[in-house]
A and B are shown apart, each in its own frame.
Chain A
Amino acid sequence: MICIYIYISLSLLASTGGISWHQRSSTTTRIPMMPRIPFSVIIKAQRENHLLPILLKECRTIDSARNELRWLRERAVRDSQSLSSKTGWRSRLRSMCQMRSRGYPLQYILGDQPFGHLEILCRRGVLIPRPETESYTYQAAKLVRQMARGCNDKSESPNQARPLRVIDLCTGTGCISLLLHALLAPHFQKLEIVAVDISPTALGLAQENLKHNLQMGQLASSAGTDIHFHCADVLRYGCNNSVPSIESILQIQLPNFGASDTSPPVQESGCDLLISNPPYISQTEFRNGTTARSVRRFEPKLALVPPHSGSGVEDCMPEDIFYHRILTLAFKLRAKLTVLECGDSHQASRVVALHNRLASTESGQFSAEVWPSRERDLAENGFHATDGSRCVIIQALQ
């Protein structure tokens, strides 16, 4: 009996403890990403369920391993019942756990991720929606509603003349556009959402997500006609490639987009909300252990790291080129509200500084802030207290 016990613990040592040791030895000068899991935890997990130690390799804490095992088991049982496959749920669960232990994202295994009250389908090749993105989408919807209420009080004319225009750049799974539609549709009679991405895979999945949530009854039936997905390159100015530039798409979608340059008296703004979660990880951060193994190996680099040589923008860091481009677009469109996700508080303050620099040459007053700013807000909105993503909210003041 004792021999068996020792054998089990040794095999676990080789399987679970080994990886973290290997990782640490190969990244001696970098930040230790994976602290070794204590043996007591591994043994405890093994006693609880024989699949838990496998999941522990990726989850790192017994609590989250337990949760993931529960979700995987639920899905395995459901699949084996609905598909009536030859393999039982037990072997299915085992293979799922082994995939997960190699770092394959849980959302790709399960095929979906909840985003607000929507269910967003996830597939290899498209970035998985993050909970922080969910939080700031809610905040953006709240601000748009506040803004509309302020406008209605002033002019007394209901917003029937012009639809509320939303532009979502680098949409990916389409999660932001879909959630915004779900949140704003009850408050606005006319809604127009333009979602743009460069990847055809992402756009295909975004369309699927639209259909999926319409079928589930989570979206109003008008979403099918209100939301338009377009393939376009946000960074490129010219139209020399097979992928059209963002300007050409917006000229078709927004009639007075080109005209606003030549006729300054037209004060009508091109869009009400410009929202984006662009790639923002720098080349070094992608490689030095700050970016998780699972993200680095299995999620698309196209959605994470901005390309090396952008459009010849010199006055900002290489990882900030998307913000430069989107901010200039926001001035062109006279966007009333611009919401941008950033990697951390440093990047967010860089974006605010960049905005102030660009705004000095433009007419009009703006307020730019990092959200959430206070410690308490961070915890309440699900942002990590010391590090992690922030978002920059820029409002045009009337």
Chain B
Amino acid sequence: MLSRLHWWTSSRTLAAPARLFSQTPIVPAKPLPPRLKISDADISISYLKGTGPGGQKINKTNSAVQIIHKPSGVVVKCQATRSQSQNAKIARSLLADKIEALENGDNSRVAIKAAAAKKKKASKMKKTRRKYRELGEGAKEGGIEEEEDEVEIIWDDDVKEGETKETESETGGGGEAKSEVPGKGV
């Protein structure tokens, strides 16, 4: 159920992407290395048909495309869309990424992107941890020294937010407790 809900929300956001107001393109701080161009002579494309004959007698919906890179032997398969040409395009970009990763190792586009994503996630986690640690401390301080007013403005905001959250959770807990009471009675 939760995973479905999550899927629903993600599909909503995908279907209606937020439009940027700025017309200038976003330039990353460090430009990525250029995409690898693979020549047509090096690859062999094959269109995989499921089982059985095609033509008018059978109506096939499968249009998987497989690309083999002859020099390295890397095989990429794509059946993301219903269109053969679109699948071939996607498979080509996947193949380029794979081969670039093989050639350049840590300096490849994929590796750099993955490293950037990892870094971003780590810093986000760090921020979250710090926030909740501070919230916890703030609540304790607030509980012990209620009279003290010598707090910075930003700090004060945080404390207030934390307090409201706590009260919400308290009422939630209360609700649960109440609902438990008739259960016990029965």
Contact = CB atoms under 8 A, between A and B. Distances in A.
Interface stretch (B33-41, B52-60, B112-120): B52-60
Contacts, number: 107
A8 interface: no
B61 A384 contact: no
Interface stretch (B78-86, B135-143, B168-176): B78-86
B46 interface: yes
B45 interface: yes
B50 interface: yes
Contact of B62 (A67, A290, A344): A67
A382 B62 CA distance: 11
A322 interface: no
B61 A388 contact: no
Contacts of B52: 384, 387-388
B47 A381 contact: yes
Contacts of B44: 380
Nearest to A110: B82
B81 A383 contact: no
A384 B50 CA distance: 9
Contact of B59 (A105, A285, A383): A105
B108 interface: no
A341 B55 contact: yes
Contacts of B79: 63, 67
A127 interface: yes
Nearest to B53: A388
A78 B16 CA distance: 10
A60 to B, nearest CB: 8
A207 interface: no
B57 A343 contact: yes
B85 A291 contact: no
Given A71-B82, A114-B83, A388-B55, A131 B60 contact: yes
B24 interface: no
B11 interface: yes
A308 B52 CA distance: 27
B61 A64 contact: yes
Given A77-B15, A113-B82, A114-B82, A294 B59 contact: yes
Given A77-B11, A114-B81, A131-B47, A295 B59 contact: yes
Given A61-B50, A64-B50, A131-B84, A389 B61 contact: no
Given A107-B59, A114-B83, 19 more contacts: A59-B61, A64-B61, A67-B79, A71-B82, A77-B15, A106-B61, A107-B61, A131-B49, A134-B84, A281-B56, A291-B57, A292-B58, A303-B56, A343-B56, A343-B57, A344-B53, A380-B46, A380-B47, A384-B52
9 contacts: A67-B62, A77-B15, A114-B86, A116-B85, A130-B56, A291-B56, A292-B59, A380-B44, A384-B49
